[in-house]
Each structure stands twice: as C-alpha cells, then as structure tokens.
Structure 1
Amino acid sequence: MKVEGFPSKSTISAIKRGFQSQCVSNVKLDGEDFVSKLLDRRWTLPHPDAKIHQVMLSTSKVSQPGRALSDVSFFNKINPSFSHGLMDKDDGEPSFFIVRDDLLHPLINGNKARKLDGLIPLVEDHSGTHVVTCGGCQSAHAAAVAVSCSERGIKSHLLLRGEQPEILTGYNLMSTIYGNVTYVPRSLYANREKMLKSHADYLAGSSGNVIWFDDIMEASLSENDGAMSFLQKDAYRSDHPRKIVIVNEGAGDVVALLGLIRLVQYISQNHILGKERPLKLVVDAGTGTTAVGLGLGAKCLGLPWEVTAVMLADTIDGYRRQEKRLISGFKRHFGLQIDHCFDEIDRGLVHWVERCHPRKFGNVLEGEVEACQHIAQQTGILVDPVYTLAAWEMSTVLREQEAEGGATVVMLHTGGTLGMFGLAQRYKSYFSNLKTGLFN
C-alpha cells in the first residue's frame, strides 16, 4: 500500500539537517542547561515526582553470595530525612534507598511509564489516531501503551506473541480490557517489522496513513529550530481520518531515554538526593534502556553517580551493543550542543553485572517467591521474582560493600506488580507452596 500524507524518512532527515545547520548555535551548553533545553517539551506524566523510601537492614552481614534474604530483616522507613541533599545516615543499621516508581500509576507502574513519558505526546502532536505495537503474552509494555492511549482517546492495537491463555490475568488482562489484542503465532512474530507493518496497513485500509514512530522522531526537532512547525503544517497535513503509528516492541528507543533523564533531573535536586554525594544507582535490566537513560542523565548533569544494572535478559555483549546503539541515537538526535561530554559517554555509562543468584530453569528460581513474600511482609514493598527482586538483592550486596562512608546505594523500583499474576498462573507450584506466615 502506498502511504500518503507523510514524507519519506530521507526527506525528513534532509529537512532536519537543513534546519539544524541554520538554527543551532555554535555556543555549547553546559550539562544543566542542555538537560533543561532537552526536557522542555510536553510529557505524559504531569510531574516527574517519585516517592523515596529508606530500607533498613537488621544485620551488616548480608552480602555473602548465595545468602538467603530470609536471613535478613528489613524495615521500610517511608519518610527518610534529607539534609542539604545528603541522605542522613542512621546511626544504627545499614540501609539503602528505593525510588518508588512502582507507585507512579496503578496500572502503568515503573519504567514503562518513564519510557512512554516523552513518546505519547509526540503521537498526539502528529495527530495519531491508532498505535500498533507488540510484546509477549504478559507484556508490561503492551499494557502500558493500551492504558496510556485509552486515557487520551487513541486506539491501541497489541500484537501478542503466542496463544491466548485459558485465564486472562495480569498485564494480559489489562491489555485486553484497554486495547485491541491479536495473538500472533511465534513463527510470524519472529519477523516483528513485517508483522507490525502488515497489521498497520490492514488497519489503515485504502485511505489511512501509516508511519513508524522512528520517523516521527526524525522529524521532532527542538521547538526553536522551526522544522517541527514546518513539517506539521505541510508534510503532515492530511484529511485522512486514520493515522496509524507503529511503536517498536518495548519502546526501547531513543525517546524512551528522555523520561529517565527527566527522573534523574528530579531526584538530583538539592532537597532530594542532591548532586554532590556519590551514589550507586541499582536497576534491573530487561532491554537495558532504563539503565542507559539513567546513565545519560547522570553524565549530562555531571553527577558522581554510577549506574549498576543487573542483567536479566541478555549477555553482557548484547547489553553493551544496546548501550552503544542508544548512545549513538541520542547523540544523533539531541547531542549537537553538548559534544564536550560525549567522549566519556562513548566509553560506556552502565556497570553491567550478573544477578546474585544464577538462574535454574524457566524464569523463576526456587525460593525467590518466598523471598518476595518475606520482603512484602516486612516492608510493604512488592518485588517480583524475576526482575525487581534481583535489583533488591544487588542493593543489599552493594550496601555492605559501600559501608563505612562509601557511596549511598539507591534502587530504582521499576514496577512489575501485575506481572506477579501471570507468574502465579504459569508457575503454580511455586506460588501454591507459599507459607501462610513468616513464622510457620
């Protein structure tokens, strides 16, 4: 199908280069000015705020590899005190801090909300009426897209890998309620680009428009360079009612980095975590996009922070390739005025590490569900056995290593709450054997 109403990718790139060469100042910006300019845009989240809790540990001997978390007692200090941007140390027990992004939204919690923070407004700015994306059967990304689009009057179409489960639950249930779900055989899902384009063409019919979100990104320049208004007024003008925007699986592209940089800017304020104290920022890694976004934010703002990402879905070589790809894309789209910091960025931003406990089979290790129960009953904080538990474990290890005046350890809780329902359905034996209480 010939797509009408949108310029080609090469045309957009040419327009972009022309406006950049005419309008970008030769004066380089410092880090804070660059980030402020970068984040001067519309967002999905009304505010970047996040609650921060302090998790107290009952013992200083918690970091031995393989040690069960059930041997450690935790206490959640919901309102920790901050003094001039330096987290006040408790005189007694060791602790780490936790950024509660799992509380951002009842259904779109954690890093999915941050990744979509800068994406959804661009879809709206380009008059998108439908969004097509894909994911696994229990895709948190698909559910987040469905809910976010529904809240803004945009229709979402979600291509989920595999077969419809007998019982709809978790993210799968939310995707079905808020969006339009199609289950795709694994053989077809393997070629995601072809699958997404074919479905978008079908939705567009003979009169609609189809565009990849990547092409929207190519056209989305800063507000001051004039290119956006030009493209909006002319190249994107169309009388066709349907405008289909294709978003890649996981939204793991450059635009997803912006929401994480916005979070870093927020929590680095002097009255929160501050800019002076060394931090070890811990996050679980699926695609690795969240970790790279945090690293970019810290580097651009000149913060003495190290991002530690627990690898859960790929090899270290795979994560490093993803990191280089995202950094390259970020520089291409946004880096014209801050070249002086990119030499260090090119050497890597993220400290990629293995999880504390090796995996056995499937996605759930025996004992991890019980560890989640232990943490929930003692702190009121829910972590999932696959992703956020790994970040919690790494935070306890780093807290011990950074004792005696070392860096402060801060964990980003990336959510995953609804994923527990899908895991309980798939791994029934682990969940059916949960103890009824801590002392049984």
Structure 2
Amino acid sequence: MWRLSKCTYSCSWCLYLAAVSCAERGLRSHLLLRGEQPEVLTGYNLVSTMYGNVQYVPRSRYANREEMLRTYADLVAGDDGSVLWVKDIVEGLEATDVAKMDDLSSSKTSRRKVLIVNEGAGDALALLGMFRLVQYLSQDHLLGKTKPVRFVVDAGTGTTTVGLGVAAMCLGLPWEINAVMLADTLENYKRHEDRLIAEFTRQFPASVFCSSLDMNHMIKWVDRQHPRKFGKVLEGEVEMCQKIAQETGVLVDPMYTLAAWEIAAELVQDEKSSIVVMLHTGGTLGMFGLAQRYKSCFTNLKD
C-alpha cells in the first residue's frame, strides 16, 4: 500500500470533513470551491480554510468537473508526481500505473502522490459508508428489519440516495427511499444511479452483497415542493427554517434539508402503515454563506 501525500477535493458542503480527516492522518488537502471567494469567510468557507488549501474556481471552468480536477491535480503533482482517482484504487491499476507508482516509491526525490475525490464523493466506493448507516439503523432497538420505512433525503449529487437504496436492498429491508431532486433532472439522476450501480457491481462481487440490484421499486426520485434553480432561496424559506427550529429543535437549511423536511411532512399526513424517516444530511453551516447572499432574509427574522 502506498501512502498519499496530498488529496484534491471538489466543491461540496461536506468537504471540510474530508479536510479534517486528511489533517488527522498527516495528509495535505486541496479543496476546490465553485464560485468567488466571499468578502468575509464564515461557515464552511472559514472551516475549510483552517484545515486545507482552498482554491476558488470560476463557475465556467468548474462546469467541466473532471477536467478541472485532473488539471489541478496534475499541477499539484508536478512533473515527477502521480495522480489517481479514488475508484482507480478499487478497480485496480493498470500495469503501467503500478510500475510508475513503484518507481515513485523507490525514488528519494519523487514521492508526490495525489488522489482525487470527486464532487459529492460521487463514486461507488462511497456507497460502502451507507451500508454502515443502514446496518446501524436497522438494529432491532431502532428501525428494525421488518417494519416498512419510507426514507426522505435531499439529493444533491444523488450518491447518498443510491447508497441507501443499494444497502437496503442487499440487506432485504422493506424500505423505500424518496429522493428530493435539488440540482438536476430526473434523467440525469437516473443516469447517475445506473452508473453507480454498474461501478458497484463491477468493483465488488455480487455474491458478497446480493445477487441483483433493481432499484426501480426501492428509489423514488421526486420534485421538491417548490422547484427552482439550484442555489436559489425563495421568499419565506428562511422564516420557515426558523419556525421549524423553534418548534422542533431541528435545524434545517433552505438550500438542502428544508426540501426533505417538506416532503417528509407531506408523507406523514397520508401515511398509516409505514414509518417516515427524514435523513438529515447536514448543510447547516451553509446558513452563514446564505446570510451573506440573502441579507434581507436574515435581518428581517423575528425573535
């Protein structure tokens, strides 16, 4: 096993967690954020800067994510370095890559190795983390393995959704995953789902988990109650987040988790036989950035 000296990540509200993990293991992280640097760093922008080397990438260049990541990683690696994607480790290196890595390991001057983690950890390897979560939640003293459960999750890249579905199906759980589409079309989410499942079955023997993966009845992609271009906050949504926090103690944000909350509340009204569970994916530190972009929404909040 070869030890990484650097990791490169693309924009995600959870990337600071990866930066923390890298710092704990002595790895240097490069965090690529879409858009312009805020005048005052707060929230994820501030925390990410404390842990990693943050670079703001113009939106036009960020649009082609893989090319942007690879270009930056090549720059970090330099002429004598090597660049890999996370999925390369799982799927196995080509013979030429193995030889190259061996040469690097034996060299005293050429030891820079760069690993790219895609946006939203959007590779099949990320699905393994959802297996842990589903195994935990399906314990008898929590949700159990026999009761029907309707999950609701906000879908950015959609990787969390697919991970929940794959894990629930492989463990034979009577669960349904309702994914609220935030950033793309149904066609593209389905395409992402198919790609992840194809990668997963190729990287991990089917016999280890389950014999077949048919997500048609497990995952339901649904529109958010108030569709809009990703990143836009509608009038009254910040006040709704405040109301939910004050009445329930649950802090949701208007960009991600409010959408899941709204659908979950809708399902609860009609549900009699199943448990409805909203998976809170985080995103609350993003409120700091939203407060800078939508100042009037926050300054008008009532006590």
**Shared topology, TM-score over 0.5?**
yes
Greater CA deviation, 240-249 or 289-298?
240-249
Post-superposition shift, 1:420?
A: 0.7
CA–CA distance in structure 2, aligned partners of residues 211 and 218 of structure 1: 11
| Cα deviation digits, residues 167-209 of structure 1 (max 9, x gap) | 1111111111111012222333233333222222222223322
**Residue 431, structure 1, aligned to residue 294, structure 2:** no
SS of the residue aligned with 1:342?
A: coil
CA change 1:219–1:238 in 2 (3 A) is farther
**Residue 418, structure 1, aligned to residue 294, structure 2:** no
**Residue 268, structure 1, aligned to residue 268, structure 2:** no
Partner of 1:145: 18
RMSD (Å), alpha carbons: 2.4
| Match runs of 1:26-425 below 5 Å | 126-135=2-11, 139-219=12-92, 237-239=105-107, 240-337=110-207, 341-342=211-212, 344-345=214-215, 347=216, 349-359=218-228, 363-403=232-272, 406-425=273-292
TM-score (norm 2): 0.90
| Cα deviation digits, residues 122-157 of structure 1 (max 9, x gap) | xxx54111001221xxx3133222222112211001
- Max Rg structure: 1
CA–CA distance in structure 2, aligned partners of residues 192 and 408 of structure 1: 38
CA–CA distance in structure 2, aligned partners of residues 361 and 312 of structure 1: 6
CA–CA distance in structure 1, aligned partners of residues 111 and 210 of structure 2: 45
Letter in 2 for 1:290: T
Matched pairs, number: 296
Contact 2:166 2:213 in 1 (8 A): no
Structure 2 unpaired stretches of 5+ = none
Contact 2:2 2:105 in 1 (8 A): no
Post-superposition shift, 1:338?
A: 5.5
SS of the residue aligned with 1:261?
A: helix
CA–CA distance in structure 1, aligned partners of residues 3 and 229 of structure 2: 47
Contact 1:323 1:348 in 2 (8 A): no
Letter in 1 for 2:71: S
CA change 1:357–1:192 in 2 (3 A) is closer
CA–CA distance in structure 2, aligned partners of residues 312 and 425 of structure 1: 21
Contact 1:130 1:244 in 2 (8 A): yes
Structure 1 unpaired stretches of 5+ = 1-124, 221-229
TM-score (norm 1): 0.63
Contact 1:126 1:236 in 2 (8 A): no
Letter in 2 for 1:206: D
CA–CA distance in structure 2, aligned partners of residues 367 and 374 of structure 1: 11
Task: Compare relative contact order (CA 8 Å, sep 6+) and give the higher one, 1 or 2.
Answer: 1
CA–CA distance in structure 1, aligned partners of residues 185 and 209 of structure 2: 30
CA–CA distance in structure 1, aligned partners of residues 213 and 153 of structure 2: 24
Contact 2:20 2:51 in 1 (8 A): yes
SS of the residue aligned with 2:10?
A: strand
Post-superposition shift, 1:391?
A: 1.0
CA change 1:216–1:374 in 2 (3 A) is same
